[in-house]
Amino acid sequence: MPEGHTLHRLAGHLTEAFAGRPVRVSSPQGRFADGAALVDGQVLAGAGAWGKHLFVAFASGLRVHVHLGLIGQLDVHRGLDDVPAPQGAVRMRLVGEDPDGGWALGDLRGAITCAVLTPEQVEAVVRTQGPDPLRPGSDPDLAWQRIRRSRKAVGALLMDQKVLAGVGNVYRAELLFRHRTHPLRPGATLRSGQWEAMWTDLVALMHEGVRTGRIDTVRPEHTPEAMGREPRKDDHGGEVYVYRRTGQPCLVCGRPVRTEELEGRNSFWCARCQPTFRSRAVG
DNA sequence: GTCATATGTGGAG
DNA sequence: TCCACCTATGACC
């Protein structure tokens, strides 16, 4: 589930469903029982995200800090009848009254972080994060200054949350494909115009992700309808060029998509469309 | 039932 | 660089 778009989308859903009203906070699973007690019954002021970090603010000023990690999920539902019993390991449960007389429910499972923080502690977390393409006013030059000075692979730099906040393995692979850039190319070999184009593209792609809840990165001419191919059936749902398409033909040139580990995560690319920086052909 | 896998991160060695 | 951790799910025996 979770790259930056997921957290920004959740922040919106939580604000919509709970803001301005008191919320019951509990930990059916028990592991967040102490934290839940600190904010239980308070008015939920709103929720926001920075990169992959989600912050839920309460009237007292305390915030619940959530990081979903690789496998966490936060499901927000509304209903009219009885609130359903918790299913599985629900670390945190939010229950609010819906303005229409029903209820709103938020169930958090599998998170790597769920903790109550003071505003100062939230600031400290945010200071560890690079600019977030989904936050208005983010400065792409902060990321560029790190990228242009680094000999590390651009595929690693894009996933480094201190450099750039919110990009994960899917957006990384797809952004590099769309910009015909090999994942192992050193950051310092990029030109500023290439980074500007990548940032602009990320802003658009990730906003689309917030809107739809999926990661779709293929251009109109490469959609299943345009190409007469089967739509992707996968847990992340979106239409992509290379992410987890190892061995399948590149949608642009037909060569099999390649994969290799880069800093512990699978990296996917097309050897023809994303030539190495050394052998990159002209034209 | 076991095992591998997953859009992530941090710590040990 | 390897490993643990958070939890659910699908493949396979």
- Hey, which residues of A are catalytic here? 2-3, 52, 265
- Positions of chain C reached by protein Cβ under 7 A: 1-3, 5-8
Closest residue, by C-alpha, to the C1' of B5:
A71
| Contact flag, residue A67 CB and nucleic strand B, below 7 A | yes
Q: Are A54 and A1 in contact (CB under 8 A)?
A: no
In angstroms, the CA of A164 and the C1' of C10 are apart by 33
Q: Are A44 and A106 in contact (CB under 8 A)?
A: no
- Name the residues contacting strand C (CB < 7 Å): A 29, 31, 69-72, 87-89, 91, 109-112, 263-264
Measured over the CA atoms of residue A261, residue A264, residue A268 and residue A271, the dihedral's sign is negative
In angstroms, the CA of A89 and the C1' of B1 are apart by 21
pLDDT at A280: 45
In angstroms, the CA of A280 and the C1' of C13 are apart by 48
pLDDT at A236: 62
Round to whole Å and give the CA distance between A103 and A109. Answer: 20
Chain centroid to Cα A140, Å, comes to 17
- At residue A195, does pLDDT exceed 80? yes
| Contact flag, residue A197 CB and nucleic strand B, below 7 A | no
Q: How confident is the model at residue A165 (pLDDT cuts 50, 70, 90)?
A: very high
Taking the C1' atom of every nucleotide in all shown strands and the CA of A112, the nearest one is C6
In angstroms, the CA of A180 and the C1' of B8 are apart by 26
Taking the C1' atom of every nucleotide in all shown strands and the CA of A263, the nearest one is C1
| Contact flag, residue A70 CB and nucleic strand B, below 7 A | yes
**Residues A38-55: pLDDT tens digits?**
999 999 999 999 999 999
In angstroms, the CA of A209 and the C1' of C6 are apart by 24
Q: How confident is the model at residue A281 (pLDDT cuts 50, 70, 90)?
A: very low
Tokens of A49: 């995200």
Round to whole Å and give the CA distance between A199 and A223. Answer: 23
- At residue A259, does pLDDT exceed 60? yes
- Positions of chain B reached by protein Cβ under 7 A: 6-10
In angstroms, the CA of A81 and the C1' of B8 are apart by 36
- At residue A282, does pLDDT exceed 90? no
Chain centroid to Cα A167, Å, comes to 6
Q: Are A168 and A2 in contact (CB under 8 A)?
A: yes
Tokens of A214: 């999926």
Identify the architecture of domain A4-127 in CATH: Alpha-Beta Barrel (3.20)
Q: Do domains A4-127 and A140-269 have the same CATH topology?
A: no
| Contact flag, residue A213 CB and nucleic strand B, below 7 A | no
**Domain covering A140-269, topology:** Helicase, Ruva Protein; domain 3 (1.10.8)
**Residues A67-107: pLDDT tens digits?**
999 999 999 999 998 999 999 999 999 999 987 889 999 99
Which percentage of chain A shows pLDDT scores above 70?
A: 96
Taking the C1' atom of every nucleotide in all shown strands and the CA of A2, the nearest one is B7
Q: Are A269 and A182 in contact (CB under 8 A)?
A: yes
Tokens of A236: 């992340």
Closest residue, by C-alpha, to the C1' of C4:
A112
Q: Which residues pair with A82 in a beta bridge?
A: none
Q: Where are the domains of chain A?
A: 4-127, 140-269
**Residues A74-85: pLDDT tens digits?**
999 999 989 999
The pTM score is 0.95
